[in-house]
Structure 1
Amino acid sequence: MPTDEPALAGYRTPGGLVLDKVIDHLDAHCREFIAHAPFATLATADAEGWPDVSPRGGDPGFVHVLDERRLLLPDRPGNYRVDSLRNLTVNPRAALMFLVPGVEQTLRVYGTTTLVAPEELAVDLTEFGRAPLSVLVMEVRRAYFQCPKSVMRSGLWDPARQVAPGVLTPFGRVIRDHCALETDLPDDATIRAELAQEL
């Protein structure tokens, strides 16, 4: 793929496998990976093209594959900003990247979406004792596995590279400063315990 952009001149043309691995459905390998994934990122863009990337998580397999062309992403209670969902109402294209702990490759899935109420689907999406607030139905257009180089470089799953408690500024203090609050928020353990009640 030649380009006239000077900044890209140093990149070689991708090899056959890099291009040929892209498929237009969720095959058995994709479905197996999604069934083991407790975490994914959801990428969307608004009508003006401004992007948003949002974390999504649950028990392994929290994203349900209906068939090789459709998957379901339940939306659980969060901060109620619903930036991603608002984006999808004006621009239904989205991308998901799935991660499985301990596995260095990732899975990327692209498609067009529809938002529906949970009761419209004949699938039980209850998790943590609650039904989702809404469900994203994705019609899959592309899927492929990403090589593990970035995860290898990051040491993401290496326990020795985990950040020890107390190294980063407490989350409550970060929120206090960003929101210009005059009083301190509870300590991180208290905040986490309160959030755990809302899963």
Structure 2
Amino acid sequence: MPATPLPPPPTDDPVLAGYRTPGGLVLDKVIDHLDAHCREFIAHSPFATLATADAEGWPDVSPRGGDPGFVHVLDAHRVVLPDRPGNNRVDSLRNVAVNPRAALMFLVPGVEQTLRVYGTTTLVAPEDLPLDLTEFGRAPLSVLVLEVRRAYFQCPKSVMRSGLWDPAKRIDPKALTPFGRVIKDHCALADDLPDDATIRAELAQEL
């Protein structure tokens, strides 16, 4: 069953008015549940972004990752996102506590399409769900349950343009400023931080 399509952009805006009306497939592909194709994609996805907004509408986008299928599909209308140990800012969780609307965008390495899922959320304790959500030897600290309102696959143009999965376009991490130096400068620290290899090894202990 198709989801209710979004309203067209206001045509009195001179910039938006320059865009052509989207074709039928672009609108008709939006559904209100997770079909077999959505479930298959989520089962293979090791990385997603979580978009939320606070009570005033200020947005936040948070990267989330794990083994393929780390986001669990409960049924056609519910997905489960465990919250793993992080920096304890919990920006996303603070947001959904006051504004339950959220969106997930799933990526699968080597695949140029992406999957977007929108809905409303509920934050629950891990023991409230009949699932073993242990990963990397740890249970999640909390779990976000998203009630699906819209889901659709995004065309691959942006990933094609970026060459995201093209090995020839990968850069040597050494081309960038070491992460420890970046944090030192951002935080105006007097002392140097460990080198990137040490930082990564420490983070690996907290997965």
Same fold (TM over 0.5): yes
The answer to whether the aligner puts 1:190 opposite 2:198 as a matched pair is yes
- Listed one character per residue, the Cα deviations across residues 24-43 of structure 1 (whole Å, up to 9, x for unaligned) are 00000000000000000000
Q: Which amino acid aligns with 1:106?
A: T
Partner of 2:3: none
Q: Quote the Cα distance in structure 1 between the aligned partners of 2:79 and 2:49.
A: 15
1:158 aligns with 166
Residue in 1 aligned with 2:186?
A: 178
Q: How is 1:1-199 mapped onto 2 (pairs within 5 angstroms)?
A: 1=8, 3-199=11-207
Letter in 2 for 1:3: T
Deviation of residue 166 (structure 1)? 0.9
Post-superposition Cα deviations, 1:90-132, rounded to whole Å, max 9, x if no partner, equal 0000000000000000000000000000011110000000000
Moved over 2 A (4+): none
Output the amino acid matched with 2:48. A
Q: SS of the residue aligned with 1:114? A: strand
Q: What are structure 1's unaligned runs of at least 5 residues?
A: none
The one-letter amino acid paired with 1:160 is A
Deviates more, 1:1-10 or 1:173-182: 1-10
RMSD: 0.7
TM-score (norm 1): 0.99
Aligned equivalents of 1:47, 1:191: Cα separation in 2: 34
- What is the percent sequence identity of the aligned residues? 88
Cα deviation code 1:126-156 (max 9, x no counterpart): 0000000000001000000000000000000
Superimposed CA distance per residue, residues 41-73 of structure 1 (whole angstroms, 9 cap, x where no aligned partner): 000000000000000000000000000000100
Normalized against structure 2, the TM-score is what?
A: 0.95
5+ residue gaps in structure 2? Answer: 1-7
Distance in 2 between residues matched to 1:41 and 1:117, nearest whole Å? 21
CA shift at 1:165, angstroms?
2.5
2-side partners of 1:20 and 1:94: how far apart? Answer: 22
Deviation at residue 9 of structure 1 after TM alignment: 2.3
The one-letter code sitting in structure 2 at the alignment partner of 1:22 is V
Q: Alignment length, in residue pairs? A: 199
Aligned letter for 2:84? Answer: R
Question: Which amino acid in structure 2 is aligned with residue 127 of structure 1?
Answer: E
Q: Secondary structure of 2:43's match?
A: helix
Residues in 2 aligned to 1:62 and 1:165: alpha-carbon distance in whole angstroms: 27
